[in-house]
Amino acid sequence: MNIPEQLFYTKDHEWIDAERGHATIGITEWAQSELGDIVFVELPQVGDEIVCGETFGTIEAVKAVSDLFAPVSGKVIEVNQELDSDPMIVNQSPFDDGWMIKVSLNDPTELNSLLSAEHYSDLIDEQ
C-alpha cells in the first residue's frame, strides 16, 4: 500500500499536502481500494469555506456513497474539474491526478492533529 511520507492523514482516510499556507486534499489509496470503482465525486466550489472535521463533499462508488471530511479549515481555491468527467482518476492516481480540492489554510496549527504516514499505516493495519 502506497502511503507517501510527506503527507498528513486523517482517520477518515483523507490525505493532505500542506505547504506555505495552502493545502491539497484527496483520499488515500486504501480508501479508494475499499470503495471500488468510483463513479461520481461531489465537491465544493471555489470560494466555499470548509471546516475541519465537517463534510466537504461526497464520493460515490459502485459499492457505496461516502462523505469526505475536511482535515483542515480553509477557503477552497481550486477544485479538480477533471473528476467531473472522469471520477475514476481517483482510483488510478489517488495521490497525484486524483486530488480533489486545494484550500488556503485558516489555521496551520490544525495540521498538528493529523496522522503521520507511520501512524496512518498503523491505523489501516488495524482495519
pLDDT single digits (tens) 12-46 = 999 999 988 899 999 999 999 999 999 999 999 99
3-state helix, strand, coil in the chain (%, to 5): 25, 35, 40
pTM for the full predicted model: 0.95
- Spell out the residues 6+ positions from residue 26 whose beta carbon is closer than 8 angstroms to its own: 14, 15, 90, 94, 95, 98, 99, 100
Number of domains in the chain: 1
Residue 2 falls within a domain, yes or no? no
Residue 54 lies in a domain: yes
Residue 57 lies inside a defined structural domain of this protein: yes
Q: Residue 29: give its domain's CATH number.
A: 2.40.50.100
Q: Write the pLDDT tens digit of every residue in 42-92.
A: 999 999 999 999 999 999 999 889 999 999 999 999 999 999 999 999 999
Instruction: Write out the residue range of the structural domain in which residue 20 sits.
Output: 8-107
